[in-house]
Amino acid sequence: MIKVRKAVFPVAGLGTRFLPATKASPKEMLPVVDKPLIQYAVEEAVAAGITELIFVTGRGKRAIEDHFDKSYEIERELQARGKAALLETVQGIKPAHVECIFVRQPEPLGLGHAVLCAQKIIGDEPFAVLLADDLIAADPPVLTQMLARFDHYHCSLVAVEEIEREHSRSYGVVMGRPWDEHVFRVSRIVEKPEPANAPSTLGVVGRYVLMPGVFDHLRRLRPAPGEEWQLSDAIQSMLADEQVLAYRYSGHRFDCGSKLGYLQATVDYALRHPEVREAFGAWLRARERREAPCEQEGMPACFASAEDDDERATLAPAAAIS
């Protein structure tokens, strides 16, 4: 049985929705509490048994390579200070048994083109694709769920979730018939259809397990000038040759490619984080109790001073967070 050992992380996008924060720093390095988005995706892949991590990068993405490289200076400093827990955290960013490979995408020509850039390294093997923008809280992680289905069905899978029809312009949307629990056999996939033309309400999210035959279909794509190479178009073409399944995963996704989704993820993960969850939760509850406008010097409510001792006591831990 062929196991999926390799995963592609397309990280060459410009991140324009987060400018100016992403002008000099990759959007994939935006932190959610104390880890960058790309690290969450890598941890999901490693937990699923992936041992080769292929980053398809572009200009200005050196910080990603540095993040997964060994940092002797930091490690020596932490060791000298006796900070064993932090040292273990830093050393665990890239486990010793995992290899990181970096491939350059000359131009940001779309997800399909980014995947095609990894073909020489993927070779003849099935592989995973993870988009760091889609941060998914799930137990077990979504890629682990998908690889269990891959081991059973031995074919390409795309992760899907139920979406509101009016949001179809933001997704690839699949048409399929039920095949097994949470599994659909795909008969059609359309990239960002108008709501009236969406074939279903099953929207594709940033997790794929693909057979290597997808590369033949990617090479045949001929996008019009100014248009991107869509991975969904290659998958649609694959349907003539082989089976593709859609898997409705169990978990909660945060669209960290949008400001709102990124903020929601930050709050949600902060409320799960053992170091800050209690103090941050107390701060949120106290903030809800305060009136929205603060009359004192026109300051926002979150900077207002508490009026009674009990509220001061509740708010005190929040100061440590900032």
48: in domain: yes
pLDDT of res. 78: 87
Across the chain, what does the average pLDDT equal? Answer: 88
Query: Are residues 117 and 150 both part of a single domain?
Result: yes
Query: Are residues 256 and 286 both part of a single domain?
Result: no
Among the candidates 252, 270, 288, a domain finishes at 270
pLDDT of res. 44: 98
pLDDT of res. 306: 38
Say which CATH number the domain at 170 has: 3.90.550.10
114: in domain: yes
Average pLDDT over residues 104-108: 89
pLDDT of res. 309: 38
Higher pLDDT, 198 or 134: 134
99: in domain: yes
Q: The tokens of 321 are what?
A: 């967070």
Report the C-alpha gap between 9 and 45 in whole angstroms. 10
Whether residue 1 has pLDDT greater than 80: no
Query: Are residues 71 and 129 both part of a single domain?
Result: yes
Report the C-alpha gap between 42 and 50 in whole angstroms. 9
Tally the domains of the chain.
Answer: 2
pLDDT of res. 288: 87
In this structure, of 16-20, 40-44, 217-221, 263-267, the range with the lowest mean pLDDT score is 16-20
Q: What CA–CA distances, in Å, run from 134 to 106, 159, 206, 208?
A: 24, 11, 6, 12
Among the candidates 249, 270, 291, a domain finishes at 270
Which of 252, 118, 147, 148 shows the shortest CA–CA distance to 209? Answer: 147
Whether residue 73 has pLDDT greater than 60: yes
55: in domain: yes
pLDDT of res. 291: 55
pLDDT of res. 292: 56
Which of 3, 2, 238, 273 shows the shortest CA–CA distance to 143? Answer: 3
Q: What is the radius of gyration, based on Cα positions, of the chain?
A: 22
153: in domain: yes
Torsion-angle region of residue 305: left (phi > 0), alpha (psi -120 to 50) or beta? beta
Residue 47 in 3-state DSSP?
Answer: helix
**Residue 119 DSSP label:** H
pTM of the model: 0.87
Q: Which domain holds residue 304?
A: 277-321
| pLDDT, tens digit, 9 for 90 and up, residues 293-306 | 554 444 444 444 33
Higher pLDDT, 245 or 170: 245
Query: Are residues 81 and 202 both part of a single domain?
Result: yes
Whether residue 320 has pLDDT greater than 80: no
1: in domain: no
| pLDDT, tens digit, 9 for 90 and up, residues 185-228 | 999 999 888 998 888 999 999 999 999 999 999 999 887 777 78
Query: Are residues 201 and 117 both part of a single domain?
Result: yes
Higher pLDDT, 115 or 319: 115
Which amino acid is residue 58, in one-letter code? Answer: G
Higher pLDDT, 199 or 307: 199
| pLDDT, tens digit, 9 for 90 and up, residues 240-295 | 999 999 999 999 999 999 999 999 999 999 999 999 999 999 999 998 888 555 54
Query: Are residues 95 and 208 both part of a single domain?
Result: yes
Whether residue 311 has pLDDT greater than 50: no
Query: Are residues 257 and 281 both part of a single domain?
Result: no
75: in domain: yes
Which pLDDT band, with edges at 50, 70 and 90, does 312 fall under?
very low
In this structure, of 53-57, 96-100, 218-222, the range with the lowest mean pLDDT score is 218-222
Query: Are residues 163 and 220 both part of a single domain?
Result: yes
Query: Are residues 140 and 288 both part of a single domain?
Result: no
Query: Are residues 44 and 90 both part of a single domain?
Result: yes
* Residues 6+ away with beta carbon under 8 Å from 183: 149, 153, 245, 246, 247, 248
Query: Are residues 170 and 122 both part of a single domain?
Result: yes
203: in domain: yes
Query: Are residues 177 and 264 both part of a single domain?
Result: yes
